[in-house]
Amino acid sequence: MVSAYLLLGSNLGNRAENLLFARREISRLCGQIITASSVYETEPWGKPEQPWFYNQVIEIRTHHQPDALLTRLQFIENELGRTRPEKWGPRTLDIDILYYGSFLIQTDNLIIPPPTLPERRFALLPFAEIAPNLVHPSMHCTIKQLLERCPDELTARKII
């Protein structure tokens, strides 16, 4: 079993219900949820002309290898009607693997940790809430330090 940290996001439909659906299905298909951050309402990153997101980071314990975990997470996204017509576009549900143990993973389909993580306040803020002292496997600094250095100034506010 390995700990994995996942970023959940939604900006279409009932955002809170979408995150609840994601947590329920992740528990059923991927592994036990160990902890979950608060939910944050966040300004869209990358493509500003769209509804604001609800974001949350969860930690799970899983026995699935990274590619198998990704397949299961994409299945959950698709169950909620996720489509991918454009990069950074609106979505009912987005689930990203932020960390998988302390491994650095790079395949054709998957890069863990995501290279843009240090630039994304909407991911770092909830991540730092539940794992502030977790060390980035290649940058060798904590999540809290990444958040302190993050250049992103977009709004992110705790709501739940």
Report helix, strand or coil for 85.
coil
Name the amino acid, one letter, at 30.
Answer: C
The single residue of 15, 23, 72, 91 carrying the catalytic annotation is 91
Which residues pair with residue 56 across a beta bridge?
A: 8
Catalytic residue among 15, 23, 72, 94: 94
Cα–Cα distance measured from residue 95 to residue 102, given in angstroms and rounded to the nearest whole number: 19
82 is catalytic: yes
Alpha helices (H) along the chain: 15-29, 66-79, 121-130, 143-149
Q: Which of 72, 96, 120, 152 is catalytic?
A: 96
94 is catalytic: yes
Collapsing DSSP to helix, strand or coil, 30 comes out as: coil
Residue 91 annotated to the active site: yes
Q: Which of 82, 120, 121, 152 is catalytic?
A: 82
- The residues annotated as belonging to the active site are 82, 91, 94, 96
